[in-house]
Structure 1
Amino acid sequence: MKLSIISGSHRKDSYSLKASTYLQNLAQMEGFNDINIVDLSTYGIPLWNEGVRNNQQEWDVWKSLSADMKLADAAILVTPEWHGMATPALKNFLMLCTADELGHKPVLICSVSASINGVYPISELRMSGSKNNHACFIPDHLIFRNCESLILSEGKVSDAQFDHRAKYTVRSLSAYANALASVRKSLHKQMQDFPFGM
C-alpha cells in the first residue's frame, strides 16, 4: 500500500518533519511499502488561486505532487500548532486537494506542540479540512506534546506509552486503507458529479 505523509511546517528541519519520520517507521511495520514524506517547507506551492485549474506554469510543482497523491491509499497530515491553528501551508494543501487526491481515503491527523497543547489544529482540520476533498479522517489522532523531549533524533520517541498508542493508531490507519479501497472503487465515477461538499 502507498502512504503519503504531509509535513505541514514551514520551517526547515522541523519537529513536524521529525514526527513524520517516526510515523514513517511505524507505517513500514503496518503494511505500507511505499511511503512518501512531503515536506511542505521545501515545495514552494503557491497559495490557492484560479490558475491551478488553468494549467499555468506556476502550478507545475503542484501537478507533480497531485499525481503522487492520486496513487496513495492513505495519508497522514502533520502540523505544528501555531497560534492555536494548523499552518497556512497545510490549509493551502487541503484547499488544493480534490476528491482525486484524497476522496474516500483514510487520513490520520497529527499535531505537534512544544508544550502540553496541540488539540486546536486537530479540531480545526476536522471541522473544515475535508469539505471539498472528501478525505475520511479516521477517529483517532495523535498529538506530539512536549515535542522537544518526546521526539528523538533517530526517528523514535522517548515515551513508551505514546509509542504504544501511536503504533495502534497507525495500525488502524492501515486497516481503514484496506477497508476503504472498495468504497473508492465503487464511488469513483459518481464523485465527479458531486465534487463539492454541501
Structure 2
Amino acid sequence: MKTTLFAAALALVGTGAIAEPAKYTLDSSHSQILFSYDHIGFSTTWGMFSGFAGEIMFDEADPAASSVSVSMPLSSMFTGWEARTGHFMSPDFFDAKGDEVVSFTSTGIEVTGDKTAVITGDLSLNGVTKSVALDAVLNKADTHPMANKAWLGFDATTTLLRSDFGLGAFAPAVSDEVEVKISIEAAAAE
C-alpha cells in the first residue's frame, strides 16, 4: 500500500499509465544543498550549493527502479565569507584547481512510507566515491501553476564524515560530521 501511494504521488495521480520511466529535470533555480558543521563548539557554520543540474527518472510501475543523478561544480559552493571559501579550496581541504565536480548517482531506492524513501547512491567528492543514504520526503507532486506542467518537490537529509572524503583537517575541533539538507524541484522533461 505504501509503495503504491508513493508511486501514485510521484506519477501524478490521474495522468494515466506510464509505459516507461518519466524523466524530470531539476529546476536549478529552486534546488539547494545546505551543509553545516560544528566550529570548535562555538557555533554552527553553514554553506550551500545552488544552481546545480540533474535528473530524476521515475518508474511508476516500480518506484524502486527509479533513479536520480545530480552534479555541480565545486566552485559553486557558497560559504558567505570569501576567506572561508578560499580556505576550503586550499590544500588544507579540497586543493581545488577550479574544474572539480561533485556528483551523486543513485544505486537504489527503498520506499519507506506514503511520502518517504531512502535513496542510496554514490557520492563523488574530492576524488573519492562513497556510498551514502539520503532520507527523502516527497513534498509535492502536482502541476506547477506557472509552468503548467508536471512538477516534483523533494527534501532529503544525510550526515557525512569529512574524513571519508579526505577533508578531515582540524577534526575533531571542527566536527568531522557534516549535516546535509537538500531541497529540490524537478520539472517534467520536454
TM-score normalised per structure 2: 0.29
Structure with bigger gyration radius: 2
The structure with the largest helix share of the pair is 1
